[in-house]
Amino acid sequence: MATNLVIVESPAKAKTIKQYLGKSYTVMASFGHVRDLPKSQMSIDIEGNFEPKYITIRGKGELLSKLKKAAKDAKKIYLATDPDREGEAISWHLATLLGIDENDKCRITFNEITKTAVKNSITEPRVIDRDLVDAQQARRVLDRIVGYSISPILWKKVKKGLSAGRVQSVTCKLICDREKEIEAFIPEEYWNLDALLREEKSGKTFTAEFYGKNGKKIKLSNQAAVNAVLEDLKVADFIVDSVKEGQKKRNPAPPFITSTLQQEASRKLGFTVKRTMMAAQGLYEGVAVPGHGTVGLITYMRTDSLRVANEALQDARSYIEKQYGKEFLPASARAYKTKSTAQDAHEAIRPTILELTPAELKSVLPADLYKLYKLIWERFVACQMESAVYNTVSADIKAGDYLFKASGHQIKFKGFMTLYVEGSDETEEEKNTKLPSLSAGAKLIREKLDTSQHFTQPPARYTEASLIKTLEEKGIGRPSTYAPTITTITARGYVSREKKMFVPTELGKVVTEIMSQHFADIVDVAFTANMEKELDSIEEGSVDWVKILRDFYGPFSEEIKKAEKEVEKIKVADEVSDVICEKCGRNMVYKMGRFGKFLACPGFPECRNAKPIVKETGAVCPKCGSKILEKKSQRGKKYFGCEKNPACDFMSWDMPLSKESCPKCGGLLLQKNGRAQKIVCYNEACDFERKL
C-alpha cells in the first residue's frame, strides 16, 4: 500500500516524527545536504550569473537511490527539513533530485518536534520558498568565491593548507586587534583609599571609599597624592553628610536565542560552541522520555528572535503560580523586544513541554543534554517571573574638605533569582552589603584608613562567550556560523586557546596582516556587517541575489589580481620547543595538525620523527612509579597515560590527582567529571569515593 513520504535531515528526527504520524507515513532521513559544490574546484560560473555547479555529495549515491524509489512509490511527498535557510536549501536540492515540481506544495516546517506541531504542519504544506533558497545560495557562493580566490594566494606566499574566509578572516582580525591593544597597553598607576568607620550607637563597622575634595571627584594617581590626603585627614572628623534610601529592581534576562545560549553555556557549563549546538540538536530532535515516547524537548535552536508563543507563556505563568505563589507572578506576561536585524521566523529557545522539569529528566538524559536542558528550562521559566527587589542605601561622609561614599544593598524579594541568575563575563555576582543605620550629622569613629596601589589593566582577551557577543553586536556572521568559524580559525592554527582565551599565533598574525593590506574590505567589520544585511535582504525578497554578487565581485576581482602581484613570499618560523628529538638531537618544533598542535623534528624529510605534546600531571603511575602524562588520542580526546607506555599500560580517561592520596589505601585518586563528578580510588579493591 502506497504511503506518504516525509523526508527530514537526521535519523533521530525521523524516529521522533514517525511515532507521531503512524503507519500511513514513511519517514526517511537525508543525513543533511545531498548536493554541494565540489571541493576540488571553484564550481561557480561567474560569467553565467554566478550559477553554482552542484554535484551529489560523495557517499550519498545509495541513499539517493533509496529516496528516489520511495518518492516514486509515495502518494504525497513532504519535505520537512529544518525551518531555516539551510533547511530550505536542502529541501530545494531534494525536490530537484526527486523531480518534484517547484509549484507543488511539498514543504512543511515546525518550530518544535511535538505531536501537535508536526500534525498541524502536515495540514499546511507550502511551496518551497525561493527567496530563502536564494539567500542560502548567495551566502554559499559568496563564501566560495572569497575562500577559493584568496586561499591559493596564501598557499603560494605563506604555506600550503591555509585558508581565508569571509567571516573567519574578520573574526581572526578581531582577535589579532585585541592582542595589539594588549601589547600596546601602558598601565597607569592609581590608588584606593578606604576608611573603616564605626557607627557609635550600634558599634557596627563599614567601609567608605574616598571620592574627592569639595564635591569634585579626585583620582589618586601616586603615593604622594595619597600621603597628602592622609596628612589632612589626621585631624578631620568623619561626619555623615547625607543618607539616601531607596529600592531598585532587577529584571530577569530574556529567554535564550542561539548566541545567548552559546555564551551562557560557555560561562556556566564550560561548553564550547560546538558542544552546545550538538547538545541542543539532540534536545530538539527528540529524546525517549518514559510516559511521553520520543519527544523533542526544546524549540528550534537556531534563532535570533525573542518571540514566545502565547500558549507557552500561559504554561509558564501557571507553573510559576503553582510552584512559587502569586507574589512571583507579574501582572501580565513579559514580552521581550527582538532586535530589528533579527529573523522572526522562529520563537526563542524554550522547553516544549514545561511539565518535564530538569529533575524529572535527569535520569533519562545524557550529561550534556541534561545540563543544557536545565539551563534552557530555568532561563525560560525565570524570564516570566517577578523582578528581584533590593533595598538600597547610600551615604555621603565628609572628613574636612574631603568626601567619602558608602553604599549597601540587601535583597528584599528574590523574585526570579530564586530560580536563575544570568552569568557575566565582566563582574562577579553582587553580594549583599549592609550599612548600619546612619543619620545626617552623626559623627563616626574612624577605626583605620587603608591604602592600596593598583594599575589599570589591558582589555581582556576574547573567550568564546565574549567573542560570540562581539560578533553578534557587530553584525558579523549569523548564529549558525559562530561554531564553524571558531572551529576553523582554531584548526588552521590562526589562534590557540590559553586558559579558555583566544590568542593569535604568529601564523594568524601574518595571515591577518596580509588580509588587512590587500583585502581590507574582507576584514572590515562595517563592510562585513553590511554584507550580512544585504544577504538578509535577499531572504526578504527585496533584492536580487545575482546583483549583490555582481556588485561585490567587480572590485574584489581587481583586488585579487593586484594581490597576486604584490603579496611578498613570507616564511613563518615554527615555534621551537625545549624537547630534544631522540633520533637526531635537534630541538623539536610545534606543528599544527588535524587534531591540534604536535611536536615534529625540523629535520624533515631526513628525520621524520613526530610525537604528541604531553604535559606532566605531577601524579605517579600506580603500576610502575613513573610519571603520569596528559596526552591526546588520535581523535584529539584528552587522556592520561604512563610515560613508559607501551612498556607500562596504565591509562585513564579520568584526571589523576597529584597532591592527594587515597585516605583508605594510599593509592592513586582519580577525578571523574561529567554527571558523576566525584573522586574515586584507582585501586579496584578499594571502595573509597567522595563527591567533587
At residue 577, the pLDDT reads 86
Name the pairing type of β-strands 77-79 and 4-8: parallel
pLDDT of amino acid 55: 95
Which pLDDT belongs to residue 423?
Answer: 80
With vertex at residue 244, the alpha carbon angle to CA 239 and CA 250, rounded to the nearest 5 degrees, is: 140
What's the CATH class of domain 189-251+389-419+428-455? mainly beta
Element (H, E) at 612: strand 610-612
Report the amino acid identity of residue 548: I
Q: Which residues of the chain have pLDDT under 50?
A: 427-429
- Domain at 258-382, CATH from 1.10.290.10, 1.10.240.10, 3.40.50.2300, 3.30.365.10: 1.10.290.10
Digit-coded pLDDT (tens) for 129-148 = 999 999 999 999 999 999 99
| pLDDT confidence of residue 575 | 80
Q: Taking the domains of the chain in order of start, what are their residue ranges? A: 4-128, 138-184+460-566, 189-251+389-419+428-455, 258-382, 576-691
Positions annotated as catalytic residues are 300
200: cell is 557609635
- What's the pLDDT at 80? 96
189-251+389-419+428-455 against 258-382: fold identical: no
Per CATH, the homologous superfamily of domain 138-184+460-566 is Topoisomerase I, domain 2 (1.10.460.10)
Grid cell in block for residue 666: 594510599
pLDDT in tens, 276-308: 999 999 999 999 999 888 899 999 999 989 999
Note the pLDDT of residue 1: 58
- 42 near 141, Cβ under 8 Å? no
Q: For helices 525-539 and 166-184, give the axis angle rounded to 10 degrees.
A: 150
Sign (positive or negative) of CA dihedral 545, 549, 550, 552: positive
Per-residue model confidence (pLDDT) at position 345? 63
Return the CATH fold of 4-128: Rossmann fold (3.40.50)
Cell of 629: 602524562
Query: Which residue intervals of 583-689 are DSSP H helices?
Result: none
Question: Which H helix or E strand runs over 689?
Answer: strand 689-691
Give 385-419 pLDDT, tens digit per residue.
999 999 999 999 999 999 999 999 999 999 999 99
Listed residue (207, 216, 307) closest to 257, CA to CA: 307
List all residues 6 or more positions away from 240 whose beta carbon is below 8 Å from its beta carbon: 395, 396, 397, 438, 439, 440, 441, 442, 443, 444
Cell (9 digits) for 436: 548600619
d(CA 563, CA 548): 23
Distances (CA, A) of 49 to 39, 166, 467, 540, 551: 21, 20, 36, 20, 12
DSSP 416: G
